């Protein structure tokens, strides 16, 4: 196989892997917004926190798989505390209070992480089975990138089944369209809200663990992922999972090919894409509500 | 309520205090006060959008940055430019940006408006970092010449002395504050409040809602530009992190919220409180982020109406008590 094709394939895989991770973060953000009208600006901070938990569990247990299981759960636990004891109390004060509160939480998480783990990059080792390359059809594929894509797809399928095939999913979808009505039908909406918030944070947590071995664990993770995920949600349309998915993949590919061809302008590409979409349709690609 | 005499005394005392301030507190606190004044004007211009028209901008820093970069670039590239025109150029840059964005942003409200601004603000930040030949990237533009203030036929005042710059900044920012205050009192300002409270009704009354929003958007942008312009003159440096960073946008939100929504003077109080807190925290600890985060959480959880909200509540309580007393006296 000639080097140009090899380059294209490898960039495509990198882009897809990043796009899928981006989608894991953005999907939580967009579900939480669609259902509860909460723009969780601490979302990326939880993502970073999970990466740190991953590092910590890995040092304690020595097993990446245990970290992959435990770190997102631990992160979701903190997310649930945030929803149950803070966000719920200020729901009446509207969007702005929630935004400022979540900014405050993000700052506290960032500061705590720096206190407990310091500011330097911490390496996360992947198990031998996930490292290395697979040769197939004359091309090399990095196993870990493929693992990330596979993992995200599995999570995606589980979420889709949960959302479209179960009673709980039906309740969640109904709550997205009209939470008050579902509440008056006798369903415990506050509990469902807490659950959905927890799941959203859990998704960000999985993304955090998945990205940790690639980028290493450092406080800058938050800023890097936070902005990208927000741009995805804005461009895809608030509350739209399909929009988040499509835009995540586009952005993943855009950033990996962008770095290849116009390296200095790669971050601008994403925002330019967003600006074009918003100038034509201010609510985003699939957004209906404002 | 304050009557005319008390008001006059208040203004005279304030004026004397501001005039004597540099002599009383020294250079360090003079510079601190200029920073406070810059962010007070910037926050008030933000509140013009949020408090008076309910447009929640999460990227107000881009006007601040445009003002700052406009002034810095003008002074760097145009020799012999006067001080006042450099500030006006900064203001003009912010106005142009607002005019370009207005047709897009006035069509949306609520969180879409906020997020659009977050996105545009971040785009500006990245552009400022990446367009290195123009903006100087991370280092920004620094060391541009600061011209003296020429009053034709009277004097030429050197602006490099901190006291002189203090007076210049206070006058410019004071005038900006006054114009914004006056603006909210005009009939047009009342229409804005109407748009905030019931846009559909204002539309039926025959006023044009999007155009009204666009005008206020441009005014708010212009004065954020003035604040940014003074800031870049004050620091003699403007960089992406101090001008376009998301933290600058958050700063306006936080000042407004801490000070209290819906009152003109609220953001000024908020800016003062945050400035003092920052000063105190940096003196005792280097965990500024932690303290700032905890303050935000605390304010939202326990004082969601902000400082001015608290003041107003106390005022109402006091009035209720004095009314009660009068009733009791009458009865006895």
Domain membership of residue B21 (yes or no) is no
Mean pLDDT of B9-29: 82
Its domain, for residue B182, covers 30-331
Domain membership of residue B323 (yes or no) is yes
CA-CA distances (angstroms) from residue B279 to A52, B29, B166, B283, B286? Answer: 31, 10, 19, 6, 11
Most confident stretch, A31-40, B43-52, B116-125: B43-52
Q: What is the pLDDT of residues A180-210, one digit of tens each?
A: 888 899 888 889 889 999 999 999 999 999 9
Domain membership of residue A288 (yes or no) is no
Q: Do residue A238 and residue B111 have CB atoms under 8 angstroms apart?
A: yes
List the structure tokens of A261: 């061809």
Domain membership of residue B266 (yes or no) is yes
Three-state DSSP at A140 gives strand
| pLDDT score of B97 | 92
Q: What angle do CA B213, B216, B217 make, to 5 degrees?
A: 80
Read off the CATH number of the domain in which A86 is found: 1.10.3470
DSSP class of A217: B
* Chain B interface mutation, best of A107, A283, A285, highest count of B Cβ atoms under 10 Å: A107
| pLDDT score of A207 | 92
| pLDDT score of B84 | 86
Give me the number of domains chain B comprises.
Answer: 1
Element (H, E) at B222: helix B209-235
With cut-offs at 50, 70 and 90, classify the pLDDT of residue A254: confident
Distance, CA of A262 to CA of A282 (rounded, Å): 28
Cα atoms found within 13 Å of the Cα of residue A82, Cβ hemisphere only: 29
| pLDDT score of B257 | 82
Query: Distance between the two ends of chain A, CA-based, in angstroms?
Result: 49
Distance, CA of B309 to CA of A182 (rounded, Å): 35
Read off the CATH number of the domain in which B174 is found: 1.10.3470
pLDDT at B110 exceeding the cut of 80: no
CA-CA distances (angstroms) from residue A85 to A179, B254, B292? Answer: 20, 22, 20
Q: What is the pLDDT of residues A83-127, one digit of tens each?
A: 888 888 887 777 778 888 888 899 899 889 988 888 888 888 887
Domain membership of residue B126 (yes or no) is yes
Mean pLDDT of chain A, nearest integer: 84
Distance, CA of A22 to CA of A71 (rounded, Å): 18
Mean pLDDT of A132-161: 82
Distance, CA of A181 to CA of B87 (rounded, Å): 54
Q: Do residue B108 and residue A108 have CB atoms under 8 angstroms apart?
A: no
Q: Is A280 on the interface with B (CB under 8 A)?
A: no
Domain membership of residue A133 (yes or no) is yes
**Quick one: which of A1, A2, A32 has its CA closest to A203?**
A32
Q: What is the pLDDT of residues B115-163, one digit of tens each?
A: 778 878 888 888 888 888 887 777 888 878 787 777 766 777 777 777 8
Q: DSSP string of A51-107?
A: HHHHHHHHHHH--HHHHHHHHHHHHHHHHHHHHHHTGGGGGGG-HHHHHHHHHHHHH
Distance, CA of B88 to CA of A215 (rounded, Å): 45
What's the burial of A259, exposed, middle or buried (CB within 10 Å: 0-12/13-18/19+)?
middle
Nearest-Cα distance to chain B for A271, in Å, is 6
Contacts of B301 (CB under 8 A, 6+ apart): A86, A89, A90, A101
* Chain A interface mutation, best of B289, B291, B302, highest count of A Cβ atoms under 10 Å: B289
Mean pLDDT of B305-320: 74
Residues A30-49: b if buried by 16+ CB within 10 A, e if exposed: bbbbbbbbbbbbbbbbbbbb
Answer whether B29's CB lies under 8 Å from B208's CB: no
User: What is the number of CB-based contacts under 8 A between chain A and chain B?
Assistant: 121
List the structure tokens of B157: 């005042």
* Chain A interface mutation, best of B297, B298, B305, B309, highest count of A Cβ atoms under 10 Å: B297
Domain membership of residue A141 (yes or no) is yes
Give me the number of domains chain A comprises.
Answer: 1
Q: How long, in residues, is chain B?
A: 332
Q: Do residue A111 and residue B119 have CB atoms under 8 angstroms apart?
A: no
DSSP class of A131: S
Distance, CA of A72 to CA of A155 (rounded, Å): 13
| pLDDT score of B142 | 80
Three-state DSSP at A122 gives strand
Give the count of beta carbons closer than 10 Å to the beta carbon of residue A115: 10
Q: DSSP string of A148-184?
A: HHHHHHHHHHHHHHHHHHSHHHHHHHHHHH-HHHHHH
Mean pLDDT of B245-254: 83
Q: Is A44 on the interface with B (CB under 8 A)?
A: no
| pLDDT score of A77 | 94
pLDDT at A78 exceeding the cut of 90: yes
At which residue do the structure tokens 């006054």 appear? B178
Nearest-Cα distance to chain A for B218, in Å, is 18
CA trace torsion A57, A59, A65, A68 (10° rounding):
40
Phi, psi of A140 (to 5 degrees): -100, 135
Answer whether B225's CB lies under 8 Å from B87's CB: no
Q: DSSP string of B92-121?
A: HHHHHHHHHHHHHHTT--HHHHHHHHHHHH
Its domain, for residue A170, covers 3-280
Domain membership of residue B198 (yes or no) is yes
| pLDDT score of A138 | 67
Q: Is A259 on the interface with B (CB under 8 A)?
A: no
For residue A34, what is the nearest residue in chain B, using CA coordinates?
B111
Contacts of A86 (CB under 8 A, 6+ apart): A101, A105, B297, B301
Three-state DSSP at A139 gives strand
Q: Do residue A227 and residue B122 have CB atoms under 8 angstroms apart?
A: yes
| pLDDT score of A137 | 67
Domain membership of residue A289 (yes or no) is no
Domain membership of residue A287 (yes or no) is no
| pLDDT score of B153 | 64
Q: What is the pLDDT of residues B264-308, one digit of tens each?
A: 888 888 888 888 888 888 888 777 778 878 888 888 888 777 777
Region of B171 please: left (phi>0), alpha (psi -120 to 50) or beta: alpha
With cut-offs at 50, 70 and 90, classify the pLDDT of residue A290: very low
List the structure tokens of B330: 């009458």
Instruction: Based on DSSP, count helices (H) and strands (E) in chain B, helices before strands.
Output: 14, 4
At which residue do the structure tokens 């589980």 appear? A158
Q: What is the pLDDT of residues B181-239, one digit of tens each?
A: 888 888 888 888 888 888 888 888 888 888 888 899 999 999 999 999 999 988 888 88
Domain membership of residue B300 (yes or no) is yes
Query: Which of A100, A267, A282 is nearest residue B126 as measured by Cβ atoms?
Result: A267
Query: Which of A89, A107, A278 is nearest residue B116 as measured by Cβ atoms?
Result: A278
pLDDT at A247 exceeding the cut of 50: yes
| pLDDT score of B2 | 57
| pLDDT score of A183 | 87
Domain membership of residue A203 (yes or no) is yes
Contacts of A136 (CB under 8 A, 6+ apart): none
Domain membership of residue A37 (yes or no) is yes
Contacts of B239 (CB under 8 A, 6+ apart): B136, B138, B139, B140, B141, B142
| pLDDT score of A79 | 92
Contacts of B313 (CB under 8 A, 6+ apart): B305
For residue A229, what is the nearest residue in chain B, using CA coordinates?
B119
pLDDT at A57 exceeding the cut of 60: yes
With cut-offs at 50, 70 and 90, classify the pLDDT of residue A288: low
At which residue do the structure tokens 């405050």 appear? A104
């Amino acid at each position: 196989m000639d080097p140009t094709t090899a380059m294209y394939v490898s960039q495509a895989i990198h882009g897809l892997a990043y796009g899928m991770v981006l989608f894991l973060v953005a999907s939580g953000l967009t579900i939480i917004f669609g259902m509860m009208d909460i723009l969780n600006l601490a979302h990326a901070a939880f993502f970073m926190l999970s990466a740190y938990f991953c590092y910590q569990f890995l040092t304690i247990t020595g097993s990446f798989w245990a970290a992959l299981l435990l770190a997102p759960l631990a992160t979701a636990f903190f997310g649930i505390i945030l929803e149950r004891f803070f966000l719920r109390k200020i729901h009446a004060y509207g969007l702005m209070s929630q935004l400022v509160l979540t900014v405050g939480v993000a700052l506290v998480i960032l500061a705590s992480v720096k206190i407990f783990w310091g500011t330097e990059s911490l390496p996360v080792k992947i198990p031998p089975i996930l490292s290395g390359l697979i040769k197939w059809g004359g091309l090399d594929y990095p196993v870990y990138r493929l693992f990330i894509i596979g993992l995200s797809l599995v999570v995606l399928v589980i979420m889709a089944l949960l959302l479209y095939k179960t009673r709980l999913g039906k309740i969640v979808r109904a709550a997205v369209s009209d939470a008050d009505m579902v509440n008056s039908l006798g369903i415990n909406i506050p509990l469902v809200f807490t659950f959905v918030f927890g799941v959203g944070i859990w998704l960000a947590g999985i993304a955090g663990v998945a990205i940790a071995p690639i980028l290493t664990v450092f406080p800058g993770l938050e800023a890097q992922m936070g902005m990208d995920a927000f741009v995805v949600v804005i461009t895809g349309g608030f509350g739209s999972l399909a929009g988040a998915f499509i835009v995540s993949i586009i952005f993943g590919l855009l950033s990996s090919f962008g770095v290849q061809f116009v390296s200095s302008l790669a971050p601008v590409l994403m925002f330019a894409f967003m600006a074009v979409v918003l100038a034509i349709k201010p609510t985003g690609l699939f957004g209906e509500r404002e | 309520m304050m009557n005319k005499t008390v008001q006059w005394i208040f203004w005279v005392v304030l004026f004397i205090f501001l005039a004597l301030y540099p002599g009383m507190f020294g250079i360090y606190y003079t510079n601190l006060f200029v920073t406070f004044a810059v962010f007070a004007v910037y926050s008030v211009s933000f509140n013009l959008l949020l408090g008076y028209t309910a447009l929640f901008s999460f990227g107000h820093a881009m006007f601040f940055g445009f003002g700052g970069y406009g002034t810095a670039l003008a002074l760097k590239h145009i020799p012999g430019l006067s001080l006042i025109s450099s500030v006006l150029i900064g203001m003009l840059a912010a106005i142009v940006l607002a005019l370009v964005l207005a047709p897009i942003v006035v069509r949306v409200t609520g969180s879409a408006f906020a997020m659009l601004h977050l996105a545009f603000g971040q785009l500006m930040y990245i552009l400022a970092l990446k367009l290195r030949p123009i903006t100087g990237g991370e280092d920004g533009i620094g060391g541009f010449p600061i011209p003296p203030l020429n009053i034709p036929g009277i004097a030429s005042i050197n602006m490099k002395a901190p006291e002189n710059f203090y007076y210049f900044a206070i006058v410019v920012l004071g005038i900006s504050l006054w114009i914004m205050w006056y603006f909210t009192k005009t009939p047009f300002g009342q229409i804005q409040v109407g748009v905030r409270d019931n846009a559909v009704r204002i539309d039926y009354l025959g006023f044009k809602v999007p155009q009204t929003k666009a005008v206020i958007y441009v005014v708010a942008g212009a004065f954020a530009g003035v604040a940014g312009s003074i800031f870049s003159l004050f620091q003699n440096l403007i960089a992406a992190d101090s001008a376009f960073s998301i933290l600058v946008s958050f700063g306006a939100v936080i000042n407004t919220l801490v000070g209290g929504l819906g009152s003109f003077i609220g953001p000024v109080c908020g800016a003062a409180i945050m400035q003092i807190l920052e000063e105190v925290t940096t003196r005792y600890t280097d965990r500024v982020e932690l303290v700032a985060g905890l303050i935000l959480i605390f304010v939202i959880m326990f004082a969601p109406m902000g400082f001015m909200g608290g003041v107003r509540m106390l005022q109402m309580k006091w009035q209720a008590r004095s009314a009660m007393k009068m009733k009791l006296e009458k009865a006895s």
